[in-house]
Structure 1
Amino acid sequence: MSFVRRMVSHGGAPAAPGGWVWPAFGLAAALLSAAGLIGAADLGRSRAVAAMAARAEDGSTLAIAILRGELEKQRALPVILARDPDVRSALSGGDRHALDLKFASIARETRAAVIYLLDVTGMTIAASNWDEPTSFVGNDYAFRDYYLGALLKGSAEQFALGTISRRPGLYLTSRISEGDRLLGVVVVKAEFDRVEADWRALGGQIYVADQRGVVLLSTAADWRFHVEAPLDAQTQREIRRSLQFGEAPLRTLPLAPDDGLVQSASPIRGLNVLVRREVPTTAWHLAMLMPVDPAVRIEQSRLQALAALVLLVGLLLAAFLLRRRQRAALRLRAAAEAKAELERRVAERTAELAGSNRRLLAEMAERTRAQERLLDMREELAKANRLATLGQVTAGVAHEINQPLAALRTYAENARAFVAGSDGAAAAGALGKVIGLTERIGAITETLRGFARRGSGALEPVALSEAVAGALMILDAPLRQAGIVPRVETGPPGLRVLARRVELEQVLVNLLRNAVEAIETAAPRPAAAPLLSLAIAETAESVSIAVADRGPGLDEAAVAGLFTPFRSSKPRGLGLGLVICHDIVAAFGGTLTAACRPGEGCVFTVTLHKAQAEGAP
């Protein structure tokens, strides 16, 4: 309706006379739309049900053809075997094991579940499953109806649950006689797993029930040996006596009629079309259920969309015609009011101009005062910026010196222990390392001072192996305390990069120290690969230094903030180490990148320009 009302308005003109027209039009449009959509939904349901019923008719015809094909193939088998001379020979005392082997070969070729031979007492004397744990040989089946039926009628069929195999199937029997003398009964058991598998390809649910309504075959395994309607007590006792279906509870199928359809509770809840047909040459009937809910939703959506499109076009056309009718009245009314509106606006505009002049003078005075305050604030901001920069440099100095100080203390303690043990040579070596570390602290301090001035000194060729050795010397004690033996690949001898050695060592120390701390927080891992490694790769123009750890790793959000000042993933970290390293490498004309995976560790890669070898042109 908002769209329709916008069509009525014309610039700033007032609404047309007769304000009831558009509400009435909207109400009529709503009622018409509701009726159209409801009608489309009913028609869609009817068409979907009819289509699924036709599909169920076709599917049931094909399902019966599949079942009859299997039945007719298996029915011929006992009749043929009853005339086989090897079968008659086995009943007369001949080689029964040879018959076992023959039955097994025939069963494989005909896809019969089991073929076996009963003597006049109902005892199994040969079977195709003679070598299986569930072999029928030696079992008495005189109680089975298919045996008694063969004795009385010459042949019989019975669908039952195997007493040994516990698998359902159709037992087909044929009597073997010589004149008036009974020799035995040959039995072929047919199972219908392949038939049920072929049925599933047809869609929906299919089951076959006998004349008592007991489900024998079904695409839903849970429906087997259910009943279409409750059985009387006498029928249930007869089924239990014959052990036809074992201990199956014979529950009622989870189906209920619902307005000409069938409501299913399992395996899929919903409405279904039910088609029931007799299976020729048997006392069985086949039922096929096709779900209609998805088809109904699709058909209803399609028809409702079509109805909505037709209604939309019709309503837009009606609204356009109604709008044209009102436009003439709108123009007349708008012309009368436009003159009065113009005079009112002229008076208002004059008053607004006078007020604007007064506000402009006041704003000019306020702008002068704001300009003075802005100058004062700029000066304060400059002071705050200088203080923040000073604090960042001070924090960076403390962070960078902390690592060699830790090594310095370790070597000093070692020297004291060597002196106490009268080991002068070792003490002198430790003190030499202390002196080297104090010189390194001075170099780091001077480097950070230069860094605070945004770089100083020219780049020069630096031997990469020496820079790596210097960094490992600073971290020697932390590595030993953590029990980490890094795998270091220094690259080919004489490999040099364009850098400043102290700052390059500073970067490597930071990356290696971070890796050690990450490994110490990670859960223990098998030693299939080194916990910490430093690898060097070179190209024609650049050299890459990769520091990899098997720590806990970082997620994408943490990696994105690695090079942001004062953001750290460590509880007591300042968040300056990687920032300083990144700026140092950038000053060298290189790059520092990070790649992390949660639970697998991180790899930090420094890429620098390769320095020309000495003596190269």
Structure 2
Amino acid sequence: MTEQPWSKRVMASRHRQAVWLTLLLALAVLVVWLGGGIVRQTHIDRLIAQGQVELNRLALQVESGITKYENLPRLLASLETVRTALHTPSNENIRRLNLELEQINLITEASDSYIMDVRGLTIAASNWNEEASFVGGNFSFRPYFQNAMAGEAARYYALGTTSLKRGYYFSYPVYEQGDLLGVAVVKVDVDEYEIALRNPAYDFVLLDPDGVIFSTSRNAWLYKTFLPLSEQERQRILDSRRYTDNVVQSLPIAQRQVYRGADVLHIDPNAGTSMARDTQGFLYQEQPIQLLDFRFALLTPTTPVEERVQVFRGFSSALAIIVMLMVLALMQRQKILRERSVALQMSRHNQAYISGIIDNTQAGLVTLNSTTRIESFNPTAERLLGHRLKDLTQQPFTRLLGREDSQRFAVLVGRMLAHPTVQDHQILELSLLHRQGHSVPVELTISDMRLPNERKFLLTLHDMTERKKYEAELQRAQDNLERRVKERTHELMVSNQRLRTEVDQHQNTQKELIQTAKLAVLGQMSAGINHELNQPLTAIRAYAENALRFLDKGHPDDARVNLTRINQLGLRMSEIIARFKVFSRKGEAQSGVVSFASAVQGVLTILGARLNQHQIHVQQDFPADTLVLGDTVYLEQVLVNLFSNAIDALVEQAVVAPKIELYLEPTAPNEPLRIVVGDNGSGVPENLRERVFEPFFTTKDAGSGLGLGLSITLRIVESFNGRIELRTGRLGGAEFCLMLPRAKPEPLTRS
């Protein structure tokens, strides 16, 4: 059924709503995201402007605070007390110089002032009376001492080895009449400036020329770098003992971003301590301090900026959600109104649709109340019953049934009413009484309609008139088929009996043909048989006559020798006659293990006279223990037939040095034996090879054979589950290859 137009409109409307909602959601996300980016950029620009002003101020403050002590060592080097103590380092001169340095330190607010001799030994210092006094310390390894001894004003920054405080050092050489007496040094303590510069709104760092943080508002960042150093640079700084034994490492910067010329670094503010936590963003701005060869950097946290961005995005998201909810509410209201209209249309459509189905269905529909009285039925039921609805309303349905069908119907309805667990529908086949008096066979389905406040039954009636007619025709066809099957079965039984009789006759005929072939072979060999038997008989007569003479003369030993020879000749004749008797007897083929050598010996015994008569040489090449599956007599007959054909061919063709060979072709152990019988005659012409196994076909002269030898041979070989084929042999003549089942030696049993 095709989709209705209103349904297509509803689906199209829903699709448009989904598209609009998706676009609005994408637009809201885009606005929130771009708006957050604009807010972030605006506040970072403000931080950059404020940070630049603060950076200039702090850098100037650091530069002026340290460089104001640059000329103080020159002043100390010009004092008479300094030159006197260096020239004459007596206790009194040293004491006077210590007091003067202490007084100068208090006036200038310098960290420390001290005087070293040419060996680098500190002879006087402003902290002479402190526990960590420089007096007595040798700082000749410091570059500020070495540069001053070279006659220059020097400066240096380092972590003090005695005080363990970071300081910036100024030094100047002390001369007297051109002679270098020592060095005057002033140390500026960096810790005091850190305290003055600290502000919770930002962090600062003071970077030396190597990029190492020399001073900072965060102690955890001391002696760290923002950029990684090479191993050579790290080792050089360690060898200089500038920061004693502290190992210089780089800060863990997770991310670096650039905003309009300024860097935003994401680092751990407590890196290197046990308080390490998630990274924090800092706006990084730096400015060089030319007089000190340092760089001063200001790091302003960007957390307030991110918080403002999050607030903006949260507010924007909330506003977007409110707008979306309002749009969704409006769309939902329109959807509800639209669905009400659609539902009303669908209800009308469904009512018309259901009515159309009920009125046009091919099944009769009847509704009954709980007492099985008729309430309504469709036009199909009206045609089926021949009654109009108004004539049967509130009438019992059993009025339309015969007596027996009424009882069946009542019993079924009663069971459904009494047992709620019974199936909701039951099927009966019964006959309805038509208004015109005839009965209509129907298939009636009773469906239990369990409504909320009442119970009704729906009857579905299917007219079975045509089906009953088809069933009757089918039954008649089945009866006819069964009758024809019985007749055909009888005919087949008769045909099978006749066929079995013909098969038996054929088998008897085949046996007679085999026996005839045997006798024919024996007839051909009769002259040879006479010769084989006459020779022993003639010898027996001669030996008997001699034996009598020997007995008459009283020579019993000589008579015994002749009698022994007569006995041997009698055994030979008995063996010849027994072999011919076995060969000529009738019998069924018995499949079993046959010694191939024994069968060949029997054949040579039977055909020995003919072979000797025509001086035909037989060459044998096979193992003595060769075994095949078959029957000895039938196997001998096969070999006799093949040897006889070879003898006839060699004699007829007058072959010089006639020869027959018998050998086994090599085969795998699981393959049949391949027994080959061939001769050195001229062979069988190519055009006759396909007919040699046909019955009564022969290439010999008329009267020389029946033409059954090879045909019988083929049947015997096939009875052994073997095959035979003709081919040109290696001697040039005809060659027959027998493929026979291989037999295994029977195991010996112990008694």
TM-score band, normalised by shorter chain = 0.3 to 0.5
Larger CA Rg, structure 1 vs 2 = 2
TM-score between both structures, scaled by the size of structure 2: 0.39
